[in-house]
Amino acid sequence: MRNIPFSPPFIDENVKREVMDVLDSGWITTGPKTLQLEQEIAKYIGVETTVSCNSWSSGAQIVLKYLGIGEGDEVIVPNYTYAATALAVYHVGAKPVAVDVDDNYQMDLEQVRSLINSKTKAIIPVDIGGLPTDFITLKDLLEQEKYCFQASSEILEIIGRVAIISDAAHSFGAKIGASKTGSYSDFTVFSLHAVKNLTSAEGGIISFNLPREAGDVAGALKLLRLNGQTKDALAKTKNPANWEYDIILKGYKMNMPDICAAIALGQMKSYDSILDERKRVTEQYHKYFSNQSHFTILRSEVDNRFSSNHLLMIQLNDKTKKYRNDIITLCSEKGISLNVHFKPLSLMTAFKDEFSVYECPKSIALFSSEISLPIYPQLTNDDIEYISETILSVLEDLVNDYGCRFTFFVNWLNRLKSCNSTICSVNCHR
């Protein structure tokens, strides 16, 4: 039997060399490798600079804190997302407001419009699966609704409308036209978690596009990620006599160490080929599922928006959640690891008192029938064939089995209805 994991990391010789270089240097915390990674990612996505941190969650909190968002403020988030999107809002004292999604798992923009009020300070759209949000339409919407916007900080005053913080955990390398994710939103936060296209084991990257009046945004974010400390360890080491530093604001401890940055630096050397391979895998899956009546497959290209192919999500058409769960279980028995992205926030214990399932019916419906397929460069075309044909075969068996059970039940009921005597009724119940 085969053993096909869901999402193993891509570790090649480039990664190993970068990590060994850090270990041999004797400097493993935030230092030259982290700076190099920030510079390379900035060049790759087409912005002046980026700021690293130790997770997507940390990056989102840093951005929200920088914007001055806190108690009494509201931030719009999709109901169909991982918990971190909402938790970052909670952790700065603000209130996340859940919005439903469309057929592509992205925010229902008309519902967004109806939720904007004077308390709304930011919106966090999610590039789920790697497909970028329609930021052109979103920005137009926020410009139209800016009449009710009330800035609560200097930086929000400069932005002049509800701020866009893109949850690009899935979409590093995705494009809108020729522009890469991270180059068009007010703030973009990437995840470099172990399962992501580009990984540092744990980590995050912040990019931004603000007016010049905002000043040294990168410097402010770096202060927030290191306790508000004016001098980091590397700076003090370069001049030991000049060790003294100050804490000028109440920040966080959320920096990325060099040992993690090295992993991502190694992957950056071949990231375009990694994307090409993920696209190959996606195209192979489309050959098997695009014309299947039982399935709808997530599109990787919509209106000049191109996915990074982080996830390949398929929907079971007109099937119950039991079908979905049984497919995952039976495929696991055949050595195939499938997954589900995501259980909506309104179904989570931590959020159920604040988010109503009735306000986001599309999210609930999509979740009930969604399956995520393995997708990574190491998958061969033979692997993809095995995964696809196994899923289709398992579903066919389930349909036949459930159909037989239903037919048996109907026939049993008909037998009961045909019994006219008490004795016969008793016999039929045996």
Query: Is the previous residue joined to 10 through a cis bond, with omega within 30 degrees of 0?
Result: no
pTM, two decimals, is: 0.93
pLDDT band at 425 (very low <50, low <70, confident <90, very high): very low
Per-residue model confidence (pLDDT) at position 234: 87
The string of pLDDT tens digits covering residues 152-176 is: 999 999 999 999 999 999 999 999 9
Per-residue model confidence (pLDDT) at position 393: 95
* Rounded average pLDDT over 34-60: 98
Angle between helices 13-25 and 258-268 (to 10 degrees): 150
* Rounded average pLDDT over 413-426: 51
Name the more confident of 120 and 416.
120
* Rounded average pLDDT over 178-202: 97
271-403 architecture in CATH? Alpha-Beta Complex (3.90)
Per-residue model confidence (pLDDT) at position 407: 46
Mean pLDDT, the chain, integer: 93
Q: Where are the domains of the chain?
A: 13-268, 271-403
Q: Please say if the pLDDT value at position 233 is more than 70.
A: yes
Per-residue model confidence (pLDDT) at position 408: 42
User: Positive or negative, the Cα torsion across 35, 122, 247, 219?
Assistant: positive
Per-residue model confidence (pLDDT) at position 415: 60
Strands 187-191 and 163-167: parallel
pLDDT band at 239 (very low <50, low <70, confident <90, very high): confident
- Of the listed ranges 87-96, 187-196, 313-322, the least confidently predicted one is 313-322
Number of Cβ within 10 Å of residue 25's Cβ equals 13
pLDDT band at 291 (very low <50, low <70, confident <90, very high): confident
Specify the DSSP class assigned to residue 210.
-
- Of the listed ranges 276-285, 363-372, 407-416, the least confidently predicted one is 407-416
Per-residue model confidence (pLDDT) at position 428: 38
Query: Which among 179, 188, 178 is positioned nearest to 208, based on CA atoms?
Result: 188
User: Positive or negative, the Cα torsion across 288, 311, 297, 405?
Assistant: positive
Name the more confident of 260 and 353.
260
Burial of residue 50 (CB within 10 Å: 0-12, 13-18, 19+) is buried
pLDDT band at 421 (very low <50, low <70, confident <90, very high): very low
Whether the Cβ atoms of residue 52 and residue 134 lie closer than 8 Å to each other: no
Q: Cα separations (Å) of 305 from 101, 211, 377?
A: 17, 25, 22
Per-residue model confidence (pLDDT) at position 417: 56
d(CA 210, CA 213): 8
Question: 13-268, which class in CATH?
Answer: alpha beta
d(CA 45, CA 38): 11
d(CA 74, CA 92): 11
Could you tell me what percentage of the chain is helix, strand and coil, using 3-state DSSP and rounding each to the nearest 5? 45, 15, 40
Buried b (16+ CB within 10 A) or exposed e, 119-146: ebbbbbbbbbbbbbbbbeebbebbeebe
Q: Please say if the pLDDT value at position 70 is more than 60.
A: yes
Q: Please say if the pLDDT value at position 210 is more than 50.
A: yes
* Rounded average pLDDT over 39-57: 98
Name the more confident of 403 and 128.
128
Query: Token digits for 220?
Result: 């402010």
**In the chain, what percentage of residues exceed pLDDT 90?**
85
Q: Please say if the pLDDT value at position 404 is more than 90.
A: no
Per-residue model confidence (pLDDT) at position 318: 87
Q: Please say if the pLDDT value at position 65 is more than 80.
A: yes
Per-residue model confidence (pLDDT) at position 414: 58
**In the chain, what percentage of residues exceed pLDDT 70?**
93
Q: Please say if the pLDDT value at position 189 is more than 50.
A: yes
The string of pLDDT tens digits covering residues 319-367 is: 889 999 999 999 999 999 999 999 999 999 999 888 887 889 999 999 9
Give the residues across from 76 on adjacent strands.
97, 123
d(CA 49, CA 370): 37
Q: Please say if the pLDDT value at position 132 is more than 60.
A: yes
